[in-house]
């Protein structure tokens, strides 16, 4: 095998820094979320995706695709969240195989209370530490990398 192009110092710093940031930042934000709102990060993602869906409900496969989760994973997770009363399963009218996942009243209140604290946590450990130039740079970096990994995806609100 030909000698590869090893990473130079800047590249190494960026890659290792990214990996370490990913480890610590996600752990910290998840911990805050769990302590302050009783939600795991995946819980929050599910509730968040449902909140921004029409009628606060969505087909299981649609939801899985949107979240980039496997159907299996989502099915299991929805089962657990259903036990806790955060979401509910409904039959799909147009397809007898299908399931529709819906936000419950309790789930809605939970995400509404969790969201502001979560935003504060993200600010505390991340956004507020960076300059607006850095924020823009990171947005551009993510966009570039994702354009290759997930063509045709938008980072819309």
Partner DNA sequence: CGGCAGTCGTTTACACGTCAACAACATGGT
Partner DNA sequence: ACCATGTTGTTGACGTGTAAACGACTGCCG
Minimum CB–partner distance for residue 31 and a second copy (Å): 11
In a 13 Å sphere around the CA of 13, the CA atoms on its Cβ side amount to 3
List the single partner that 40 binds among DNA, a second copy, none, CB under 5 to 8 Å by kind.
DNA
Q: How far apart are CA 53 and CA 110, in angstroms?
A: 16
Closest residue by Cα to residue 24 from 113, 129, 117: 129
Q: Cα 31 to chain center, whole Å? A: 15
List the single partner that 97 binds among DNA, a second copy, none, CB under 5 to 8 Å by kind.
DNA
Q: Scanning residues 117 to 156, which ones bind DNA (CB under 7 A)?
A: none
Binding of residue 53 to DNA (CB under 7 A): no
Binding of residue 148 to a second copy (CB under 8 A): yes
Q: Is 154 exposed, middle or buried (0-12, 13-18, 19+ CB in 10 A)?
A: exposed
- Site residues, a second copy (CB under 8 A): 1, 3-7, 9-18, 20-26, 28, 68, 113, 115-117, 119-120, 122-123, 125-127, 129-130, 132-146, 148-150, 153, 155, 157
């Amino acid at each position: 095998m030909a000698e590869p192009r090893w990473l130079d110092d800047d590249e190494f710093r960026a890659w290792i820094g990214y990996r370490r940031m990913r480890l610590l930042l996600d752990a910290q934000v998840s911990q805050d979320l769990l302590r302050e709102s009783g939600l795991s990060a995946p819980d929050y993602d599910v509730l968040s995706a449902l909140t921004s869906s029409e009628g606060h409900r969505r087909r299981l496969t649609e939801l899985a695709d949107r979240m980039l989760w496997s159907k299996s994973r989502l099915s299991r997770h929805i089962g657990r969240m259903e036990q806790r009363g955060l979401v509910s399963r409904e039959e799909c009218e147009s397809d007898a195989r299908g399931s529709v996942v819906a936000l419950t009243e309790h789930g809605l209140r939970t995400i509404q209370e969790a969201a502001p604290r979560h935003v504060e946590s993200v600010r505390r450990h991340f956004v507020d530490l960076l300059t607006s130039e850095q924020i823009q740079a990171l947005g551009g970096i993510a966009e570039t990398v994702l354009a290759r990994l997930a063509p045709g995806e938008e980072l819309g609100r």
